[in-house]
Structure 1
Amino acid sequence: MKRIYVVGTADTKGEELAFIATRILAEGTRVTLVDLGTGDPSPEANVPGAEFVPAAEVVAHGPAGASDDVASSDRGRAVAAMTEAFAAFVESRGDIGAMLGIGGGGGTAMVTAGMRALPIGVPKVMVSTLASGDVSPYVGVSDIVMMPSITDLAGLNRISRAVLDKAARAIVAMTQSPAVAGDGRPAVGLTMFGVTTPCVTAIVDQLKATRDCLVFHATGTGGRTMEKLADSGMLEGVLDVTTTEICDLLMGGVLAAGNDRLDVVARTRIPYVGSVGALDMVNFWAPDTVPPAYEGRNFYRHNPNVTLMRTTARECLRIGEWIGDKLNACEGPVRFFLPEKGVSSLDVEGAPFFDSEADAALFDAIDRSVEWNRDRRLIRLPLHINDPAFASALADAYLEITS
């Protein structure tokens, strides 16, 4: 039977953990209390009716195993070791129905590492002193709900009781609400930017009768989220129309993919249809955030807070070769499409980013660097990426390789 895991440092926050566990138990839900502390747990952490996992059991899942003397380490090293161990501990458990964590800086880092190891859809609530700031390092591409603790987590008071009570009731409600059922259509992940919206919209229109189309905004987190779902076996395939995150990765933009972009396609052999959407642009914030090294380049002001920079032929060559290296590792069905008349709505004759030389460098680099074969095919079309015929060709190819 699934259980709600209540997680924190029982040596410094035993009273708060006990309060939460007691509230959840009162709702008739099974509870496992996990200690991530380096000291002896406070007596309050021993909650009747709740399973207790001592910190030593968590530490045993770390690289150094049970022999790792985390308690005698300096704080930074202890937090790092426990963070890694807790993520591995979570992956070893099969009874986690939901997780509620509490913590300050160290506790938030440790608990959310374990939360990120859980599949998307498993309820996750983190009550944290850091929840009103930049939580991207803690949430990543997961579906963690960050809840501000308001006061510090240093004992119970009228504020902390109210916050922790709401967190406990929220996590119980999340586990009791029935999951939204799928309708039987396989799920496909698609990447989109504003400048490739017509293409992706047309693909969705063509596929939606038979596929559940999940569109991801290609802003760095979008691509990573799509690939996390693919790695979890939640996608039938991928229609990676908009690979623009690679531009930001290689040129220092603000919406970058990780270095592991496309690795999941090779690792899982998931059916993959890709293209070069928005590889004509690198994203920065307001104009004054553009690195001085790019002074004098071709810029387009997308809005007051987003500045786009046109990629050059030299940069497109580098991007194409990077993509080629990744595709060469893919042994599943791959169809990669090149729209010879432009890669975004800004890359069309008369538009600010039209540059046939740069596009040619990109296309030729991909064509030349990939080892094309029966399963890994390149399709060059004399169309713009937002031409309805181009979208139809991508959708047809996807149906062909997933039939």
Structure 2
Amino acid sequence: MDREQAISFLQEIIQIKSVNPPGNETEVALKIQALFNQHGIETELVEYDENRTNLIARLMGENSGPVLGLTGHMDVVPTGEIEWEHDPFGAEEVNGNIYGRGAVDMKSGLAACALSMVSLKEQGFPKRGEIILLATVGEEAGAVGARQLTEKGYADHLDALIIAEPTNNQIKIAHKGALWPQIVTYGKTSHGSMPEVGVNAVVHMNEIIQRILDNPFHFEDEEDPLLGRPSFSVNVIQGGSNTNVVPDQCSANIDIRTIPSLDHQQIIQQIEQVIERTKEKYPELKAKVRILNDQAPVKTSGDDPFVKLVQSVVKAADGPIELGGMTGYTDGSQFVSAKKKFPIIILGPGETSLAHQPDEFVEIDKYLNTVHLYQEIAKKFLT
């Protein structure tokens, strides 16, 4: 495909409103499938839910060999309450940039994956091995599509995986995990003028949260060279119905970002232990812990041969590079659960800081350069 065709394809998928919730990724999947059909590339649709469909595409060589995975998600976050200067779904081309929700996170990376496969097919690659694209639903809300594909075995035969999230084409070999516990306390209502008759769920929650904040699981003792320290933040608290009613329920949502040295199950057990100790002060306390999101951290060794291969390709194209990590999670959190272990890198067009922002945009040249990078990585890996 030439430059204008590549730009037009990206604009077309940005114009599809695959906002999550609810997702509506099927239209994106069908648009990419149509491109592959034009070029004789095998595809498969894997339905997740109504109007929500994962896409698998395979480009196979004549002989057996390694399997390179490419992946990107098709959903985007809402446009937000702040007014945009550019139409969020107009995919306007202005001064060498394409604007729109998902331009960075991550339809440009997804499009680059697809176009690299089309270009390789036109060049007669691969001669051996296989390239497989895993285009997923629901990454922005729990990586549900990646989980489904992993559970169905679509990642079990991969030998390496590139996640096309925005890194400005810098190589990331690690990202933090995410654990989102929700604590719910249960009390007993009473009239606000007679609080002694009720059981105040908000008071109980306050005590639990304060104890957790006083000692957040010894996180200060943990640090990763690429990811830094884990983080802990209480971000949502809801409780009570009216000023004159003692609240009988309160919930608190916590965002914990983890590094590979931490075990999520142990953190959950520590939260439950805090609740049990709080009962010594409030014997009538009733509480439970729900897990809203559980995404594993990801880390590939900098000495892995695939990482070295990717470094050589990126260095040849863009000059010296350093390996890094990301604070947010990706679909890699689910793909690491595949039966077979394989190196995972994160490499894609666009500035990470623009993701989820008003007037999100990607540089066209960076997007097109990523198409080239994916091709060169595939050629080296499958030679």
| Normalised TM-score (structure 1) | 0.23
Name whichever structure is richer in strand by fraction.
2
- Higher RCO structure (Cα 8 Å, ≥6 apart): 2
Larger Rg: 1
Name whichever structure is richer in helix by fraction.
1
